[in-house]
Amino acid sequence: MNTYRIITDSSCDMTQEMADSLELDVVPLSVNYKGKAYPNYLDGRALDPVQLYQALRAGEMTTTSAVNPSLWKSAAQAAMEAGEDVLILAFSSGLSTTFNAAFIASQELLEEFPERKIYVVDSLCASMGQGLFCYHVAQKRLAGATLEEARDYAEATKLHLCHWFTVDDLMFLKRGGRISGATAVMGSLLQIKPVMHVDNDGHLVPVSKARGRKASIQALAAKVGETAIEPEKQVMFISHGDCLQDAEYLAGLLREKYRVPRVEISYVGPVIGSHSGPGTLALFFLGTHR
C-alpha cells in the first residue's frame, strides 16, 4: 500500500476533476483583484477564469501571491498526522517563491514528525506543464511506485516536460517586464506573435517570432515534430487564456500531424493568466529536451 500523498499547487491549471482522479491535493495561490485576495481554487469557486479574463480585457489590474509556508504546512501536516508521507511538486522556482515556501514548510514538519518523510520537488514547470508533470508522477504512484521511486521519477522527468507558449496581446508581457514598450507597440502593429518556452531554469523566455496568430499556433505544433518522444503514444496538455477555438485548432493539428491519441484542454488559470493575459495559448508534452 502506498501511504504517501502527492501535493501540488494551483499553478498546475488542471481541472478539479482531473486532480481528484489523480488523487492530488492542491493548495491555492491567490489573485489580488479590486482590493481583495481570491484563492485560485481549481474549481473556480473564488475566482472563475472567465471572470478574470473579462476583467483583464476591461483594463483591470491584478497582482498575484505565492503559496506561503503556513499553507503548505497545513496541507502536508494533515497527511502526516494521518500516518502518510508526502511528496510536494511545486510551481517553478524560476517564476515564484512557492517552491521555497514549500521547502521551508517541509523542514519544519520533519522536526515535528521525525518518523515521517516529506520530499519537495521544484517542478521547474508552469500552468498545465506543471499539470502534465503531476499527471505523470501521479500515474507512477497509482501504478504502485514507492515514495522514493516517484520522487526520483519526478526529478528525472521534469527537464523533459516541454512548455511552448504564444500570446495574443504583447502589452501583458510589457507590463510584466518581459519585453520593452517599443517592442510591444511595434509587434502589435505588425501582428508579431512571440513563441516562448520555459527553459531548464524554469524561466519563461522568448525563442522566436511568428507573423500572425495562425502562424504562431502552427509554430507551437511544429515543436512536437522537433522534440516529442513518440507523440503517437502521449497524452498532451493545452492551456488557453479564454481562447478555446484556438486551443481546439491546435489540438486538431496534433491529432492530424502526429496522431496524438489524447489531448486535454483547460484554462490558463487566474494566477498565470494575470501575467500572460487573454489569448495566451500553451502546449505541453514530453520531449528529448526542453
Class of domain 4-158: alpha beta
SS3 167: coil
Could you please state the CATH topology (level 3) that the domain comprising 160-286 is classified under.
Answer: Hypothetical Protein Tm841; Chain: A;domain 3 (3.30.1180)
Do the first three CATH levels of 4-158 and 160-286 match, i.e. the same topology? Answer: no
Domain boundaries, the chain: 4-158, 160-286
Write out pLDDT tens, residues 79-98: 999 999 999 999 999 999 99
What whole-number distance in Å separates Cα of residue 113 and Cα of residue 132? 30
User: By percentage, how much of the chain surpasses pLDDT 70?
Assistant: 91
pLDDT in tens, 7-55: 999 999 999 999 999 999 999 999 998 899 999 999 999 999 999 999 9
Q: Residue 184 pLDDT more than 90?
A: no
pLDDT in the model for residue 127? 97
Chain segment 160-181, per-residue pLDDT in tens: 999 999 988 766 665 655 555 5
pLDDT for position 170? 65
Burial (Cβ within 10 Å: 0-12, 13-18, ≥19) of residue 35: exposed
What pLDDT sits at residue 209? Answer: 85
Residue 174's pLDDT is 58
Tell me what pLDDT residue 206 has. 77
* Rg of the chain taking only CA atoms, in angstroms: 19
User: What does the CA dihedral 232, 229, 225, 154 come to, rounded to 10 degrees?
Assistant: 110
The grid cell for 155 is 526529478
pLDDT value of position 195? 87
Task: Write down the pLDDT at residue 175.
Answer: 62
Express each pLDDT in 271-289 by its tens digit. 999 988 999 999 999 999 9
The gap from C-alpha 227 to its chain's centroid, in whole angstroms, comes to 20
